[in-house]
Structure 1
């Protein structure tokens, strides 16, 4: 699995970006789409499951806070853009998502990251990627355990200080000073 300090892999995938009509529901997303921004790329196992929509909604509820930090959220799984579209139309919490859902149907990105499970689906993994494309944070949980978007935002805040941040540090608190 790729980790801190590694370059996030090159990718180009279809993404579901809306539900209103087929002409505007999909877009191509690649490394250049959000060039110069931080990325929060979170992978989840499958559409039409139980834990996944709680996490997607959790990130959606915090989307503006990530945007305020110049960070684009990208949700991703190995399902197709059409399955993403059907799920978004079917699930009330997913209809108005403010970020793209990447469709890694060829499993190239999950394979390059090292998070493709033996069952052929993405592990529940989160990557914070800096504007230079370097992975700065990796968070992986068991498939049965949802992640905490607030913790991801806290770590983003800490990374953006370029300072030493103690345990449980939050934005606005003092950072550590080397004596």
Structure 2
């Protein structure tokens, strides 16, 4: 069964955020758009390139009213140490959630149990706490924050314009489609 349109499950975790440890739970992800990005582990190779890319685009996410959360099965202490020692990770201003008990990785169905790490999973969650976009792939393949931004904008557009859908490669301001009988076979 897909997680699309399901509500996020309850959790309680600690995150490293702007020099402090903060509590985060399912309610933290409600009331606004959220992006949850799982990655395998701190102090690795592809992960810092992804988190740095998200950090470089963080202001754009914030302008859309979106909070970004990075999650790995490391602890919040490990996140702080990584933030303090890595040039790439020192740019991160969004919360980095520790999931050493694997509750979040299990809730979002991205845990590789035999390794104790998460797959690269990306989830866009609407203000009601429902998953609207999900992408999960092999840990050797890095993600692109600009493509994630495009998907967030499309999800927000569709939510604000019932009855309209965004075609492939849709960009903000481009034409959308209104599904109807008249449109069948004409695209």
Q: The TM-score by the shorter chain falls in which range?
A: over 0.9
Q: Which structure 2 residues correspond to residues 39-118 of structure 1 after superposition, within 5 A?
A: 39-117=34-112, 118=114
Gaps of 5+ in 1: 20-24
User: Equivalent residue for 1:8?
Assistant: 8
In 2, distance between residues paired with 1:148 and 1:4? 21
RMSD of aligned residue pairs (Cα, Å)? 1.4
The alpha carbon displacement at 1:8 in A equals 1.2
Deviations 1:57-108 (Å, cap 9, x if unpaired)? Answer: 1111111111111110000000001111111111012114110000011111
Structure possessing the higher radius of gyration over alpha carbons: 2
Normalised to the residue count of structure 2, the TM-score between the two structures is: 0.88
The alpha carbon displacement at 1:2 in A equals 5.0
Normalised to the residue count of structure 1, the TM-score between the two structures is: 0.92
Deviations 1:9-46 (Å, cap 9, x if unpaired)? Answer: 11110000134xxxxx2111112234310110000000
User: Equivalent residue for 1:164?
Assistant: 165
* 2:131 equivalent to 1:130: no
Task: Give every structure 1 segment of 4 or more consecutive aligned residues whose post-TM-superposition deviation is greater than 3 Å.
Answer: none
* 2:140 equivalent to 1:144: yes
Asked whether the equivalents of residues 2 and 114 of structure 1 are also in contact (C-alpha less than 8 Å), the reply is: no
- Aligned residue pair count: 174
In 2, distance between residues paired with 1:7 and 1:34? 11
Gaps of 5+ in 2: 159-163, 183-187
Report the structure, 1 or 2, having the larger helix content. Answer: 2
